[in-house]
Amino acid sequence: MKRLVIVGAGTGGLMVANFVARDLSREIAHGEISVTLLGDKDEYIYQPGFLYVAFDLMRPAQLIRPIRELLAPGIEFVHDRAVRIDPEGKVVERAGGEALRYDYLVLATGSGLNLQEVPGLSEGAHWFYTLEGALQLRDELRRFAGGRVVLTVGVPHKCPVAPLEFTMMFDEWARVRGIREQTELVYTYPLGRAHSIPSVAEWAQPELEHRGVRVETFFNMESVEPDQKVVHSLEGTDIAYDLLVAIPPHRGDELGALSGLAEAGNWYPTDRNRLNLNGRDDVFVLGDATNLPISKAGSVAHFEAEVLADNLVGLLAEGSPPAYLYSGRAFCFIETGLERATFISFDYLNPPKVPQPTNAVHWFKQTYNRIHWANLKAVM
C-alpha cells in the first residue's frame, strides 16, 4: 500500500487531501492507497473572515466548521500535532501517538504571528490576524469615538492586500458612524510606496489620498511603547497613536526547525515550480509554509494544491514522475470600502493590473466568504 501523509489541516492541506481522495477513491476503497491528514486542530477557521469580524460584518460562527465535515470519503483524519519529521526513515512523529509512516509527505503547516519580534507589539497593538485578535479589535472599535489610528505592517505577512483593505474599510466605517472628522488615519508601509506591487501601489496612493489617509512609507516597525502610545520604525520615524492596528510579522511552524528542514523564519526551502522540498522528491510543501517569493494567500494554496494533487495522483497511482508545474498563480480580492471591491490576478511572469472597483466584485467576495467550504471540499 502507498501512503500519503499531509501535515496541516488548513486551506492547502484540506484541498490536497480532498482532491487526491476524490481522484483515487477506488484505490483507497481497495486498500491500495491511504490518505492521512494530520492536524493539530479539529476545526477549520476561515481566516479571511477575521477582517469582517473586526468591523462587525461577520460573526465568528460563520467562519468555523469541524474538519470532519470537510473531508472527502476515504481520508483518515488524525487530530494531533506533528513534532518531528525524519525524512530518511520516512516517518512523521507526533505528540500524542504512534508515528506515521509515509511514501509521500505534504507539508501544509501555514504561518503564524511572530509577536515577540517587535518589543511592545503584543501589549500596544491590536490586530485582526487571529480570531481572538479580531474579536478584541471589534470590541475596541465598538468603543472607538475618534483619535489617531495607525496601521503598521510587519514582514513577512500573509494576505498582502489586507493592510489596504483594512484602511479603506476603516475610512468608510468611520464615515458611516459619523466619526471620520474626529479620526486621523495613518497608513504605513515597509517599502518606499503604498504597496509591494508597483501597479497596486500606483493605484492605491491616490485612492488613499482622496480618502484623507496619511501615507508614511519606508516604515518597518521596530518597537512599540504601549505606555507612551508610540510606534518606532527601523528607519528612525516615530508615530504617536490612539489606536495601533498592526499586521504582525509572521513565521512558520516550529516543526521545520525541529526537524532541521527549514530555513530562518521556519520557512521550508521549496522548488518554485514542482513544490518539492529542495533536495527531496518525496516531500512537498504548499501554502504559507514555503519560502517562495509569492503572496502567502489562500488562493495561492489553492492553485498549488491543484498542481500538487495532480502530481501526487500520478505518483501514487502509477509511479509517474511529477509533470504539472506551478506557475506562481495568485488571485486576491481587494475590498476598497464597505460597498466596493476590486481584484488582482498574477503569476511569476505576469504582473497584475487593478480594475476599477465595483459593487459587483464586492458581492462576489461576500458570496465567496459563504461558499468557501465547497472550494475546500474540492467540489467546486
Partner 1 sequence: MADNIMVIDARGSFCPGPLMELIRAIKSAEIGQVIAVLSNDSGSKKDIPLWAGKAGQEFIGVEAHGEYDEITVRKVR
Ligand X SMILES: Cc1cc2nc3c(=O)[nH]c(=O)nc-3n(C[C@H](O)[C@H](O)[C@H](O)COP(=O)(O)OP(=O)(O)OC[C@H]3O[C@@H](n4cnc5c(N)ncnc54)[C@H](O)[C@@H]3O)c2cc1C
Of 50-109, binders to partner 1 (CB under 8 A) are: none
* CA 65/CA 70 separation, integer angstroms: 8
Closest approach of Cβ 225 to ligand X, in Å?
Answer: 25
The residue assigned the cell 471589534 is 138
Closest approach of Cβ 195 to ligand X, in Å?
Answer: 15
Could you tell which of ligand X, partner 1, none binds residue 253, using a CB distance below 5 to 8 A set by kind? ligand X
Amino acid letter, residue 285: V
Amino acid letter, residue 368: Y
Phi, then psi, of 120 in degrees rounded to 5: 90, -10
- Closer residue to ligand X (CB): 15 or 33: 15
Q: Is 278 in the site for partner 1 (CB under 8 A)?
A: no
Whether the Cβ atoms of residue 269 and residue 284 lie closer than 8 Å to each other: no
Which of these ranges, 39-47, 131-139, 293-301, 307-315, lies near partner 1 under the rule CB under 8 A?
Answer: 293-301
* CA 34/CA 144 separation, integer angstroms: 52
The H or E element spanning position 93 is strand 91-94
* CA 149/CA 147 separation, integer angstroms: 6
Q: Is 1 in the site for partner 1 (CB under 8 A)?
A: no
| Binding interface with ligand X (CB under 6 A) | 7-13, 38-41, 47-48, 50-51, 81-82, 108-110, 128-129, 158-159, 162, 253, 255, 287-289, 296-299, 301, 332-333
Whether the Cβ atoms of residue 350 and residue 335 lie closer than 8 Å to each other: no
- Closer residue to ligand X (CB): 220 or 270: 270
Please tell me whether residue 281 adopts helix, strand or coil conformation.
coil
Q: Is 351 in the site for partner 1 (CB under 8 A)?
A: yes
Tally of residues, the chain:
380
Amino acid letter, residue 226: P
Q: Which of 70, 115, 174, 330 binds partner 1 (CB under 8 A)?
A: 330
Distances from the Cα of 6 to the Cαs of 1, 303, 312, in angstroms? 16, 17, 11
Could you tell which of ligand X, partner 1, none binds residue 335, using a CB distance below 5 to 8 A set by kind? none
The residue assigned the cell 505592517 is 153
How, if at all, do strands 213-216 and 183-188 pair? Answer: parallel
Whether the Cβ atoms of residue 121 and residue 157 lie closer than 8 Å to each other: no
Closest approach of Cβ 218 to partner 1, in Å?
Answer: 5
- Closer residue to ligand X (CB): 71 or 180: 71
- Closer residue to ligand X (CB): 37 or 232: 37
Could you tell which of partner 1, ligand X, none binds residue 38, using a CB distance below 5 to 8 A set by kind? ligand X
Could you tell which of partner 1, ligand X, none binds residue 108, using a CB distance below 5 to 8 A set by kind? ligand X
Closest CA to 64 of 46, 39, 50: 46
* CA 316/CA 34 separation, integer angstroms: 9
Could you tell which of ligand X, partner 1, none binds residue 278, using a CB distance below 5 to 8 A set by kind? none
Could you tell which of ligand X, partner 1, none binds residue 235, using a CB distance below 5 to 8 A set by kind? partner 1
Q: Is 155 in the site for partner 1 (CB under 8 A)?
A: yes
Binding site for partner 1 (CB under 8 A): 117, 155-156, 160, 190-192, 196-198, 200, 218, 220, 234-236, 249, 264-265, 272, 293-295, 328, 330, 346-349, 351-352
